Amino acid sequence: MTKILIYCGPKESFELVLPKRTTKITLTELAIKSDSKMREHLFRIEGQEQKPIENEVEEISCLVAYSDEYAGLSENAIQSFVSFISRFNIKSIYLQNPPVYIVEQLNKIKKNIKTIKYEYKTIDYEVIKKINQDFSSNIIGQEEVKKYLLTALYPLCKENFVKPIVLMFYGPTGVGKTETAKFLSGILDEKLFRKQFSMFHSDDFSAYLFGGKHSQNCLAKELLERESNIILFDEFDKPHPVFHSAFYQLFDEGVFEDKNYNVEVKKAIVICTSNYNSEDEVRKKLGDPIFSRFDAVIRFAPLSTEAIIKIIKNEFGKQISDLTKDERTLVEQNKVVEKIIGLACRLINARQIKRIIREAISAVLIEDILCNKEKV
């Protein structure tokens, strides 16, 4: 009897459930083997007597299918997956994030299918305390944000609260919205799941959200493969509002479906960002249907001069830590950080500060190199 296990989750954890001492063959390798057999059956040399074709079914100890391998199969192979694998005598099958077509076929022929879902780290009371303790040293100049963020995240501490918490962060660019998402994923020690929505054009985005050919990439598949329950939809305001309907069920129930995949996103933190200037503008531009689904709409304020100076000092410390001892001495002698602090009232965000510090340090170092070369 064939053993079938369906695994919903990232590749690294999927590999932990695979049998250790069993000879394994991947789905791609099986497809190549199948094609080879088909060509062997069809091949004929004209004018020669044909040898009888052996009908012995090859035995496979363990078939392993990774998420990215389904795209390599033809549409026909996906639609008739059971027929495809039945050409071999397979003892055990391990499938990572299979398309719904495959799951439906397997359920029709076999009821004893084991499904394992990866358990993502979640927010609890200790995590809430950690966020409160570390927020201000990581996200500078946004004390009001911390208060609203902790309030919004509190329901996730309750065991019976399973829907995702959906947050809208709005405000100027470079003041901490994306960094807050990175901070939260760092608290949980997980890799942030981040999608930059400004990168998509309308046609691409439609297939990405609602599902196109199974060989095309899509959000549902990427959500299945994610390594974190902190989900960032950067520049959520950039796509046309017609696409917002794709997120209704995700925001309401923690379920995201397209024509090829179905994924549960329970007890997650979904962060959407925009550069709008007010909550009223968020509501007006995005519309009530999606606006009403945000659990909190949190404003990131422009940075004060005091916050700018603190960011300058922190960023300068990070950048000079990568320099040699002689380079650091040269930069300090030229009073680079003092000069940039003198410009604090003209600076507006962290991205600008990082760039200016990098340019200022580079200018000092390159000038020294050129001067020394001229002397030689």
DSSP string, 311-352: HHHHHHHHHHTTS-HHHHHHHHHTTHHHHHHTTGGG---HHH
CATH number of 125-299: 3.40.50.300
Interval 118-139: pLDDT, tens: 999 999 999 999 999 999 999 9
- Statement: the pTM of the whole predicted model exceeds 0.85: yes
CA R_g for the chain: 27
Question: pLDDT tens digits for the chain (376 residues)?
Answer: 789 999 999 999 999 999 998 999 999 999 888 777 666 555 544 445 555 555 577 899 999 999 999 998 888 888 889 988 888 899 999 999 999 999 999 988 876 799 999 999 999 999 999 999 999 999 999 999 999 999 999 999 999 999 999 999 999 999 999 999 999 999 999 999 999 988 877 777 888 898 888 888 899 999 999 999 999 999 999 888 889 999 999 999 999 999 999 999 999 999 999 999 999 999 999 999 999 999 999 999 999 999 999 999 998 999 999 999 999 999 999 999 999 999 888 888 888 999 999 999 999 999 888 887 655 5
Q: Give the long-range contacts of residues 211-214, CB within 8 A, separation 24 or more.
A: 211/258, 211/259, 211/260, 211/261, 212/259, 213/75, 214/70, 214/71, 214/73, 214/75, 214/78, 214/99, 214/101, 214/260
Joined tokens for residue 245: 């309907």
**Angle, CA of 222, 225 and 242, to the nearest 5°:** 20
Q: Cα(86)–Cα(127) distance, rounded to whole angstroms? A: 48
Burial of 108 (0-12, 13-18, 19+ CB in 10 A): exposed
Predicted confidence at residue 47, as pLDDT, reads 47
